[in-house]
Structure 1
Amino acid sequence: MLGFPMRIKMHPLWLIMAILAFLHGYLLDFILLFLVIVLHEIGHAVAAHSYGYVIAEIEIFPFGGVAKIEGRRVGYYAREETVIALAGPFVNLFLGVVVALLHGSGFLPDMMAEQLLTINATIGVINLLPALPLDGGRIARAYLADEIGFDRATKAVTTMSYRVAIAVMLIGIIAFLFGYADVGLFLLGVFLLISTMLYQKKNKVETMRFLDEKRNLAQAILPVKTIAISENATLQEVASYFSPDNYHLIYILESKKVIAQDIILDYIFTSNGWHQPIKSLL
């Protein structure tokens, strides 16, 4: 029905959550939460499939999920990443409208409609927070990558992710001190903090994959972006300004010479010239 095989994998913590939900009388909330997260991730999967990506599986975590994609790499094409990231929250918006219509028509009882709307809105809003690996973080990186370069955008959004995680944890602690017994916000902050730490460890790998994709990508027409830089700048510094969907020409300020991005990328990958100054190519 979706046009691609659907395989859903559940994180082991879901079993613990199911047992706790059953023991404390929140089984319906648990089922609705699982349903909303699955539909959210299916939205991502459908959008990714429309761009030709192969969907390996959908893995569901306690605070969300991820549609794992094989082959081509998500994140290196700004427009595609934005559309794929927005597809999940769009499903939440659509689901909210459907639930409201069904409730208004008398097909859904008040309690179930309220629970479903609350859970659905919570998942949608949380995923729009500007923190990696959430949808909001991916949208922020896609926008910044076009402006300041993929590597610098990833680092900027990673820093933002730490701030968001700490802010969510602090709000959770303050809420707890003021008598709100729900520790969900604090745990969400911890989850975001750990996710950001793990993501930061992959920053260089992400950048190298992006540059490798850029090096091997053959496109007939690309807008040209010129970068003016000192001859003492390293190739790492130069490459940090490379953005998706642009072809880069590097203007050397001292010698007034121009070097194409292909020469820089080939040197980085074939001569291990990551830390070499760009003047070594002149």
Structure 2
Amino acid sequence: MNKWNRLFGVKLRFHPLFSIVILLSILAGYFIETATLFGIVLIHELGHVMAAKNFGWRVKEIQLLPFGGVAVVEELASVPAWQEIIVTLSGPLQNGIMMVAAMALQATGVISGEWSAYFIQANLFVALFNLLPILPLDGGKIMQSLLSLWLPYQRVIVLSCVASLVLSVVLIAAAVLHIIYGGFQLNLFIIGLFLFYSNWYAYKGMSYHFMRFLIHRGNTLNRLMRQGTLAQPIVVDGRRKVTEIVRLFMREKYHLVYVMDERGAIRVVLPEQPLLQTYFNESKRGSAISELFM
């Protein structure tokens, strides 16, 4: 691997649209502004990387995208939600630190007021835009982490994807409607289209996302049992299919499944592990739980 496309041992990957945006900015005579924005985005992403590595996460790469960047990690809902929120907020935190540093340098006369104003404005834009509740922006990840504290994870995936698609359309519509107020917002339009495409692709791959969550579920269960946890009951009747029950699993909970009969009596109590093993057998996942365990 070429050492020039790595930073702190993490691979850097430039999205083609990001490269086009950079080239167009340079051709338009905004090299200094573009270089500054590139540095801001990179430091923002390094904030995510350093926080993730501090928790022992495996960081695959930093993707630089038209709207900023994304730190790609191996962990997917197999770590505590609070860790995920801290890692996500570590990016905007870097923007806040850079803004304070710029104010201090301007006050001491080290940098000019004009450049400091642009630097602060650019940091504020990157931080606030990334906090929009749209995946894969930081705000979308925080939204997904918070939802996972109260809802089954399969439902979290669906809701976050649908919300991200709707808000991506809102961005596109805002760019088009801006024509009425003085001009077409090309950058916002391109970003909106990119986010819509990214979330449409994620929407179609929700089953893959959920399967990855279940595959890593063993690590989560081991962590919960090591630290000690209260079991979250799931109450079903024997006619419910294994697939339907697994979709009720929550990210931060260990479940015991109570299977009831028609009279409301408990027929069997199942931990998660045998249900997960059954689900991974494609020939059995569509079977009623009574056919397999009663």
Give the alignment's TM-score, normalised by structure 1.
0.90
After superposition, the C-alpha distances for 1:152-208 in whole angstroms (9 at most, x for unaligned) are 111111111011111111111121222134322222211110110111122111111
The offset of 1:13, in angstroms, is: 3.2
Residue from 74, 93, 96 that aligns with 2:76: 74
SS, match of residue 226 in structure 1: strand
User: Is the 8 Å Cα contact of residues 55 and 67 (structure 1) preserved in structure 2?
Assistant: yes
Paired letter, 1:277: A
User: Is the 8 Å Cα contact of residues 7 and 58 (structure 1) preserved in structure 2?
Assistant: yes
Question: Structure 1 residues 200, 231: CA separation in 2 closer, same or farther (over 3 Å shift)?
Answer: same
In structure 2, the gaps of 5 or more residues are 1-6
**Pairwise CA RMSD:** 2.0
Please name the residue that 1:103 is paired with. Answer: 106
Identity %: 27
The offset of 1:141, in angstroms, is: 1.1
User: Is the 8 Å Cα contact of residues 231 and 278 (structure 1) preserved in structure 2?
Assistant: yes
Please name the residue that 1:65 is paired with. Answer: 69
SS, match of residue 280 in structure 2: helix
Alignment partners' CA distance in 2, 1:53 and 1:202: 23
Alignment partners' CA distance in 2, 1:253 and 1:98: 62
The offset of 1:47, in angstroms, is: 0.9
The offset of 1:212, in angstroms, is: 1.4
Alignment partners' CA distance in 2, 1:149 and 1:195: 23
After superposition, the C-alpha distances for 1:217-271 in whole angstroms (9 at most, x for unaligned) are 4232233111223333322221122122321011224352322111211111146
The offset of 1:211, in angstroms, is: 1.0
The offset of 1:76, in angstroms, is: 2.8
Alignment partners' CA distance in 2, 1:253 and 1:186: 53
Please name the residue that 1:134 is paired with. Answer: 137
* Superposition map of 1:1-282 within 5 A: 4-70=8-74, 73-77=75-79, 78-217=81-220, 218-219=222-223, 220=226, 221-254=228-261, 255-257=265-267, 258-270=269-281, 272-280=283-291, 281-282=293-294
SS, match of residue 89 in structure 1: helix
Farther off after superposition, 224-233 or 151-160: 224-233
User: Is the 8 Å Cα contact of residues 99 and 117 (structure 1) preserved in structure 2?
Assistant: yes
Paired letter, 2:117: E
SS, match of residue 147 in structure 1: coil
